[in-house]
Amino acid sequence: MERATLSPSLNQSYLLSPSRASNTRLHSFSLTRNLSPSSSSIKLQHSSSPVSSSFIINGGASFARCNAVLSNSSSSKDVSQVADIDWDNIGFGLKPTDYMYVMKCNLGGEFSNGELQRFGNIEVSPSAGVLNYGQGLFEGMKAYRKQDGENILLFRPEENATRMRSGAERMCMPAPTIDQFVEAVKTTVLANKRWVPPPGKGSLYIRPLLMGTGAVLGLAPAPEYTFLIYVSPVGNYFKEGVSPINLIVESEFHRATPGGTGGVKTIGNYAAVLKAQAVAKAKGYSDVLYLDCIYKRYLEEVSSCNIFIVKDNVVSTPEIRGTILPGITRKSIVDVARSQGLKVEERNVTVDELLEADEVFCTGTAVVVSPVGSITYKGKRVSYGEGSFGPVSEKLYTVLTSLQMGLTEDNLKWTVNLS
């Protein structure tokens, strides 16, 4: 094990970031402090076949450079190449890629000096605001490889940036500007270009995080914030793929309440649905559909996606009223449906209307558009369609995914091309 000795003047919290010139991968690291007050040390694990590489360790306003030992577990790869994995069976789960993007900011300050780092574990104080008080937000986005195999498309990234800024205001957090957000996403995707699946094999899921990483004991906004982006190649979110999913309506547990944080993409919203979701999946359902917490009769959303119904060619979805996340795929489907001549209503939708619908489908970044094959409510099961998309949802799915993948001309100017 190689050690790198640091100046004792450094702050007790360290950020380890390999230089951009390194062609090796940092698997993991642990920070240890020697008993001697004159030095601290960083242990880099998995150091077989070592090579020397330069690191910068930031601690408050102090900086020190050192040489460290990295695992040379993978040779230098041209990012224009496609990773050699089984693209037909990637599923929806984390697959570690090459780089992540990190940018920091103090409370009341502005984000600046973002940089790429090798993908790996991060270190935060046990008293970090995100760990103690849930002061955190995330976004979900996708990048697609075009048919030419080279160009990459992002879908409406400025919408994710805007939504994160809105959520940050609600959670008392500083946020990157829209331009900073979009440029950081572009940088991260291009650095991990070889992990974007081949055309038709999936997408590169992009996860921007905004976290209160500064230490805070009393209930208050954290003193420091970290904006981080990592990516992973993914296939279909539901195991059914684009086959219809089966939902159960939940009337006892609730996802959000009026005046709460249901309308922003804060991390706590998702932990709250795990209990009902686990119970539903144990019974064979794909996921849970939540009702409003006051009347228990109006549709809200599924655990991680918005809900739509179709009746007599009219598309209806619950209106955004503070308890429902303003999904970007939801917004896009509303616009696509109207562009296709369909009537769209954003309003209160009752569970009775759901049971009488001709078609039901979900939308979200992860699922894109997913047909619903059945709804179970108070023991009554209602089925839709013939085991596939209904005619309206299939048309909307085809139009939207063709735009996202660059198969049709983008007259709406929603996609951003990266080459």
Answer whether 415's CB lies under 8 Å from 189's CB: no
Which one of 104, 146, 193, 265 is the catalytic residue? 265
> Residue 222 contacts by C-beta under 8 Å, 6 or more apart in sequence?
107, 128, 129, 130, 135, 173, 212, 213, 214, 215, 216
- Tokens representing residue 408 in the block: 């049709």
Neighbours of 294 (CB within 10 A): 11
Of 320, 349, 166, nearest to 258 by C-alpha is: 320
Give catalytic status of residue 43 as yes or no: no
In the chain, what's the furthest Cα-to-Cα distance? 76
List helix spans (H) across 171-199: 178-191
Amino acid at 256: A
Rg from Cα positions in the chain: 23
- The one-letter code for the residue type at 37 is P
Q: Which residue has the tokens 């982006």?
A: 229
Secondary structure element (H or E) that encloses residue 399, with its range: helix 391-404
Backbone angles phi, psi at 202, to 5 degrees: 140, -155
| Structural tokens at position 155 | 């879908």
Residue 249 region by backbone torsions, left for phi larger than 0, else alpha for psi between -120 and 50, else beta: beta
At 417, the amino acid letter reads: N
Residues designated catalytic: 265
